[in-house]
A and B are shown apart, each in its own frame.
Chain A
Amino acid sequence: MTEPRTVELEVLRYRPERDSEPVWQRYTVPYSHDLSVLQALQHVKDELDGTLSYRWSCRMAICGSCGMMVNGKPKLACETFVRDLMPGPIRIEALAHFPIERDLVVNAEGFIRKLEGIKPYLIPLQPRTLEQGEYIQTPLQLERIEQFSSCINCMLCYAACPQFGLNPEFTGPGVLALLHRYNDDSRDGGRAQRMEVMNAEEGVWSCTAVGYCSEVCPKHVDPANAVNQNKVNSAKDYFLRFLQPRGAR
Chain B
Amino acid sequence: MTDGKAAPRRPFVRPMAGWWRRDPFFVRYMVREATALAVLVYAIVLTVGVVRLAQGEAAFAGWLQALRSPASLLLHLVLLASFVVHAHSWFEIMPKTMPLIFVQGKRLAAAAIQRAGWAATVLVTVLVFALALWARP
Cβ of A144 under 8 Å from chain B = yes
Cβ of B29 under 8 Å from chain A = yes
Tell me the complex Cα distance, A211–B22, Å.
15
Q: A211-B96, A215-B25 are in contact. Are A162 and B107 (CB under 8 A)?
A: no
Sample of 18 further A-B pairs with CB below 8 A, known A100-B14, A165-B19, A212-B26: A16-B7, A16-B10, A16-B11, A17-B8, A22-B12, A72-B22, A97-B14, A100-B11, A140-B105, A166-B16, A211-B29, A212-B29, A215-B25, A225-B97, A228-B96, A229-B97, A229-B100, A231-B97
Cβ of A222 under 8 Å from chain B = yes
Interface range on chain B: under 10, 10 to 19, 20 to 34, or 35 or more? 20 to 34
Could you tell me the distance in whole angstroms from the C-beta of A139 to the nearest C-beta in chain B? Answer: 8
Give 10 A-B contacts (CB < 8 Å), ordered by A residue. Answer: A16-B11, A100-B14, A101-B9, A140-B102, A162-B20, A209-B93, A211-B29, A212-B25, A224-B96, A232-B99
Q: A229 to B26, Cβ gap below 8 A? A: no
Tell me the complex Cα distance, A212–B99, Å.
19
Taking CB atoms and an 8 Å cut-off, the chain B residues in 63-119 that contact chain A are 92-93, 95-100, 102, 105, 107
Chain A hits for B9, CB < 8 A: 16, 101
Q: A16-B10, A165-B19 are in contact. Are A144 and B100 (CB under 8 A)?
A: yes
**In the complex, what residue of chain B is closest to A166 when comparing beta carbons?**
B16
**In the complex, what residue of chain B is closest to A106 when comparing beta carbons?**
B11
Binding site for A on B (CB under 8 A): 1, 7-14, 16, 19-20, 22-23, 25-26, 29, 33, 92-93, 95-100, 102, 105, 107
Most buried by A among B12, B19, B92, B102: B12
Tell me the complex Cα distance, A212–B92, Å.
12
Q: A211-B29, A224-B96, A229-B99 are in contact. Are A16 and B22 (CB under 8 A)?
A: no
Q: A222 to B96, Cβ gap below 8 A? A: yes
Q: Which one, B13, B20, B96, B102, contacts A214 given CB within 8 A? A: B96
Interface range on chain A: under 10, 10 to 19, 20 to 34, or 35 or more? 20 to 34
Q: A73 to B23, Cβ gap below 8 A? A: yes
Chain A hits for B29, CB < 8 A: 210-212
Q: B8 to A16, Cβ gap below 8 A? A: yes
Q: A228 to B97, Cβ gap below 8 A? A: yes
Q: Which one, B11, B33, B95, B102, contacts A107 given CB within 8 A? A: B11
Cβ of A124 under 8 Å from chain B = no
Most buried by A among B1, B11, B19, B25: B11
Chain B hits for A107, CB < 8 A: 11
Tell me the complex Cα distance, A232–B92, Å.
19
The 3 closest A-B pairs by CB, nearest first: A99-B11, A16-B10, A17-B7
Could you tell me the distance in whole angstroms from the C-beta of B131 to the nearest C-beta in chain A? Answer: 32
Could you tell me the distance in whole angstroms from the C-beta of A236 to the nearest C-beta in chain B? Answer: 11
Cβ of A96 under 8 Å from chain B = yes
Tell me the complex Cα distance, A176–B18, Å.
26
Could you tell me the distance in whole angstroms from the C-beta of A53 to the nearest C-beta in chain B? Answer: 12
Q: A17-B7, A72-B23, A210-B29 are in contact. Are A99 and B96 (CB under 8 A)?
A: no
Per-residue interface assignment for chain A, residues 39 to 75, with 1 indicating a CB less than 8 Å from any chain B CB and 0 otherwise: 0000000000000000000000000000000001100
Cβ of A143 under 8 Å from chain B = yes
Q: A210-B26, A211-B29 are in contact. Are A16 and B12 (CB under 8 A)?
A: yes
Q: Which one, B12, B26, B95, contacts A99 given CB within 8 A? A: B12
Tell me the complex Cα distance, A211–B1, Å.
43
Q: Which one, B11, B33, B92, B95, contacts A225 given CB within 8 A? A: B95
Cβ of A14 under 8 Å from chain B = yes
Tell me the complex Cα distance, A160–B120, Å.
32
Cβ of A21 under 8 Å from chain B = yes
